[in-house]
Amino acid sequence: MRFDILTLFPEMFSSPFQESILAKAIEKGLIEVRTINIRDFALDKRRIVDDAPYGGGQGMVMKVEPIARAIEQVKSEDPSVRTIYLTPEGKPLNQEMARQLSSRSHLILLCGRYEGVDERVRELFIDEEISIGDYVLTGGELAAMVLIDTVSRLLPGVLGSDRSAEEDSFFGSLLEYPQYTRPASFRGYEVPEVLLSGNHQAISLWRRKEALRRTWMRRPDLLSKASLSEEDKKILEEISKKDVS
């Protein structure tokens, strides 16, 4: 999968993609990450990419021409590429959205700065607007990193095991069950005995119950989206009764 990042600060992306899982995915050819400096597409010698807003107001607005030229260059190589604008006004990024994006082979990620982009960029060139949360960042670069990480880990071969992504939080709209490792005892806190039993069926049931319990306690809003079996519903009923009592 290929990501083309349109940004005014391409150097911000050098370190995150040289470490850990994403670095290995790039090395294996599972993902490709290219940074494109929007300034390279400016129309003047000074490489100006922003200007004061019509009608007055604070801050500067990113100009339409350099962004348009950058997007059009990428699209000349791949007309089917989908263009995403990272903005607080976009749809909130969630696991289902990441899963849908992971089915594509090529994405353009536009990183806004200042007071945002000229509205004509959005009207003419943007296919989708995405937000990583209800807060404001200095620019879209950090949001682009989050999106690439979230989407990439869903691609076959990126994680050590393809089942790892299935056991993450938000898979199936449930939070992940608690995890433990050695030592079995730490300052009086013990690892649940079932995890030491070697009984895989019992362990699987315990993990399902704990995922349901944790979701019910911390993010009950997710349960309305979850695909719950009759057994899951019984477990939740038991959990709710214990909590009330």
Whether 162 is a known active-site residue: answer no
From the candidates 39, 47, 99, 115, give the one annotated as an active-site residue: 115
List the catalytic residue out of 128, 149, 168, 176.
168
The answer to whether 88 is a known catalytic residue is yes
Select which of 99, 153, 207, 214 is catalytic.
153
Question: What whole-number distance in Å separates Cα of residue 161 and Cα of residue 194?
Answer: 23
Q: Are 92 and 154 in contact (CB under 8 A)?
A: no
The torsion angles phi and psi of 157, rounded to 5 degrees, stand at 90, -15
Q: Please, what is the angle between helix 20-27 and helix 141-152, to 10°?
A: 70
Q: How far, in Å, CA of 88 to CA of 117, rounded?
A: 13
Q: Does residue 27 have an active-site annotation? A: no
SS3 87: strand
> Assign residue 199 a region: left if phi > 0, alpha if psi is -120 to 50, beta otherwise?
beta
- Our separate counts of H helices and E strands in the chain read 8, 9
123 catalytic, yes or no? no
Q: Which residues are catalytic?
A: 88, 115, 153, 168
